[in-house]
A and B are shown apart, each in its own frame.
Chain A
Amino acid sequence: MIVRIMGEGQYRLDEEAAERVNALDNEAVAAVEGDDEDAFHVAFEQMLELIRTDGDHMHDDELEPSDVIVPPADITFVEAAADFTGDGLIPD
């Protein structure tokens, strides 16, 4: 799976790492919904760290679109709340 961290570039993740990213992603969403800023930052930062360490950073000249795009590392809780108040899962 190809994941883009906005402002940082793309990473290639294997299935197992992708599953763990997904779990953390769900935690981050739940934290936003529960208005729990601390929990959001914990989950979100763990998620970014996992992508950076377990993913292979793709070369800048690769032209493949990402499967998943995650927000920039410096996103604020306010921005997260504004961005993630979608009406549930949007099919890819």
Chain B
Amino acid sequence: MAGMAGRMSTVIKAKISRLLDKAEDPGETLDFSYQKQLESLQNVKKGIADVVTAKKRLGMQAEKLRQSVVKLDTQARQALSAGNEELARTALERKQLAQTELQGLDQQVAELEAQQEKLTESEKRLRSKIEAFRTKKEVIKAQYSAAEAQVRIGEAATGVGEEMADVGLAMQRAVDKTEDMRARASAVEELEAAGTFEDLTALGSGSDDIDRQLAELSTGGAVDDELAAMRAELGSGSAAPQGELESGEQK
């Protein structure tokens, strides 16, 4: 097959070959090879479980943030109705921050979901190959001399080994992704710990870091827009002229 594939594939293949070489112990018995395949399968199952755990954790965080968004929105409305625009603005600033984090989390949960599906498919493929190998091994053992059987079973094991390497790399990618997300989840947790998404009763004790982040958001004008929209929607705000109040009531 030399020259058949361009550089890209051959580099990848060389990489996998190295992985296989590393995994192969020349002294190992045929049965041990099967044992190792089963261990590899167990590792994949554990990898899938890790992805599920990470997904659940992020999902729970997203749920908490969703509740914060609703709560802060309600508080902004209450503050505005009471004529306290400053408080309403702060609530909306926090809501924006929570929403941004929420979007990121939702996206990551979806990514982990995709990883989980892929790994589950890979696990199924590997299981089929291992099962086929087990059957073939017994047949070969019964038909050939020990030396000949060694060679033939070795060939079959290569086919399984390639699948193991494939799954191994897929797992590595999943682990890398999960670690990235863990870092992000920690960042959100820090914001939570600092009270960023908390009840407005926590107002006034905000750290400089939160103030800075909130200030950054305010400059975007998103909060101003939302505040204006909310004011229009409420209509009956204390500052609203009499005429508008009446038309608001007719709605």
Tell which of A26, A86, A89, A92 touches B1, judged by Cβ atoms closer than 8 Å. Answer: A92
Given A88-B7, A92-B1, A92-B13, 19 new contacts (CB under 8 A): A18-B4, A22-B4, A22-B5, A25-B7, A26-B6, A60-B124, A60-B132, A61-B128, A61-B131, A63-B159, A66-B13, A67-B5, A71-B12, A72-B173, A84-B8, A86-B11, A89-B3, A90-B11, A92-B10
Q: Which residues A25-59 have CB closer than 8 A to chain B? A: 25-26, 28-29, 32, 59
Q: How far is the CA of A20 from the CA of B2 in the complex (A)?
A: 16
- Nearest residue in A to B13 (C-beta to C-beta)? A69
Tell me if B159 and A64 are in contact (CB < 8 A).
yes
Give the dominant DSSP class at A's interface.
loop
Residue A62, interface by CB 8 Å? yes
Task: Show the binding face of B for A, using Cβ within 8 Å.
Answer: 1-16, 118, 121-122, 124-125, 128-129, 131-133, 136, 155-156, 158-160, 162, 166, 169-170, 173
Tell me if A68 and B5 are in contact (CB < 8 A).
yes
- Nearest residue in A to B161 (C-beta to C-beta)? A65
A-B contact count (CB 8 A): 109
Interface size of A as a range: 35 or more
Tell me if A68 and B4 are in contact (CB < 8 A).
yes
Collect the chain B residues with CB atoms within 8 Å of residue A6's CB: 12, 166, 169-170
Looking at B9, B118, B129, B132, which has the most chain A CB atoms within 10 Å of its CB? B9
Q: How far is the CA of A88 from the CA of B122 in the complex (A)?
A: 31
Q: How far, in Å, is B199 (CB) from chain A's closest CB?
A: 40
Tell which of B9, B155, B166 touches A25, judged by Cβ atoms closer than 8 Å. Answer: B9
Tell me if A68 and B129 are in contact (CB < 8 A).
no
Tell which of A7, A22, A61, A69 touches B16, judged by Cβ atoms closer than 8 Å. Answer: A69
- Nearest residue in A to B158 (C-beta to C-beta)? A65
Taking A7-B118, A22-B4, A68-B4 as contacts, is the C-beta distance between A61 and B170 under 8 angstroms?
Answer: no
